[in-house]
Amino acid sequence: MGKRMLVTLAVVSLALLLVACGGPAPSQEPAAAPTEAIQQQEELTAQPPAADGAILLEERCTACHSLDRVMGAQKSHDEWAQTVARMVGKGAQLNEDEQAVLVDYLVKTYGP
C-alpha cells in the first residue's frame, strides 16, 4: 500500500515537473514574437497622428482660451467631434483632415 502510494506520488510529481519545465516553454516563444511585432507596428502607426494632434491642439486651440478647458474635459468621440466643430464655428483654424486628426488625439488623450 505504502509503496504504491509512493510510486503514484513519484509519477505525479514527475508529470508535474515535465509540464512545468518542458511544457509551456517551446509553445510560448513562437507565440510571443508575433504579438511583439504587432505591438511595434501599432506604435509605429499610432505615433504620427498623436504627435500631429498634440501640435494642432497647441497651435490652433489656444488662441481664445488656455488648454485647461480641454484638459478638464472627458468626452467621447462624438462629443469631441461636436466640440471641435463648435470651436471651428467660433473661428478655430482647422481643415477637415486636421479636425479628424485632432478629434482622434483628443479621444485618446482626454477620452472617457
Which residues of this chain interact with ligand HEC, rule CB under 6 A? Answer: 60-61, 63-65, 69-70, 73, 83-84, 87, 90-92, 94, 102
- For the CB of residue 60, give the shortest distance to ligand HEC in the complex, in Å: 5
Residue whose C-alpha cell reads 483654424 in the numeric block = 93
Contact residues for 63 (Cβ-Cβ < 8 A; gap 6+): 91, 92
**Angle, nearest 10°, between helix axes 96-110 and 24-60?**
120
Question: Which CB atom, from 84 or from 107, has the smaller least distance to ligand HEC?
Answer: 84
CB of 82 to ligand HEC, least distance (A): 8
What is the smallest separation between the CB atom of 32 and ligand HEC, expressed in angstroms?
A: 40
CA-to-CA distance for 4 and 55, rounded, in angstroms? 74
